[in-house]
Amino acid sequence: MHHAHRYVEQWQTMRAENLGLFLWGGVGTGKSFLAGCIANALIEQEVPVHMTNFARILNELNSSFSGRNEVVDKLCCYPLLVIDDFGMERGTEYALEQVYNIADSRYRSRKPLIVTTNLTLDEMRRPQDTPHARIYDRLLEMCVPISCIGVSFRKETAQEKLERMKRLIG
């Protein structure tokens, strides 16, 4: 949470120096929550932010009448783009090409990107093939990796709800 606060406090520098975040770790460790907190705090400061995931981007690309370039250009107009659950998209050649196009467009436009993923840093540093290597290389240059570790918040919440239900109906 400290990193999220500092990112927002230092937003002008982050933007000017194209500094993004790569929030990685296990399921339920708060990566999406932190990214959302940053997005919301910046939106409150009237900074245009777009938070999405590659599954939604790919759906938009597939259903777009205006064409791929316009979808990519629209994503690049935001000062900050947050991509949640990176690595969960289908690994088809088409999907990888689109993921690369988004990462490369942000890279070339020098606009920061925040990415959340369940991939490990080791998996990012040792990609399985060249298409993945091209994507990961850009992301790791643009985004500072931050490890999100701990017990799944969702498991804790589920356990609390179970205990509450037992008290209510037991």
Residue 35: which of 63, 10, 11, 7 has the closest Cα?
A: 7
pLDDT number for residue 66: 63
Domain limits for position 127: 2-169
Between CA 169 and CA 164 the distance in angstroms is 9
Q: What is the Cα gyration radius of the chain?
A: 17
Total domains in the chain come to: 1
* CA dist., res. 62 & res. 71, Å (int): 10
Output the tens digit of pLDDT for each of the chain's 170 residues. Answer: 899 999 999 999 999 999 999 999 988 888 999 999 999 999 999 999 999 998 888 888 877 666 777 888 888 899 999 999 988 766 788 888 888 888 899 999 999 999 999 999 999 999 889 989 999 999 999 999 999 987 666 667 777 787 888 888 87
| pLDDT value of residue 46 | 97
Q: What does the pLDDT read at residue 95?
A: 82
For residue 89, the model assigns a pLDDT of 64
Q: What is the CATH number of the domain that holds 161?
A: 3.40.50.300
pLDDT value, residue 153: 64
- DSSP-derived 3-state class of residue 119: coil
pLDDT for the residue numbered 63: 79
pTM: 0.83
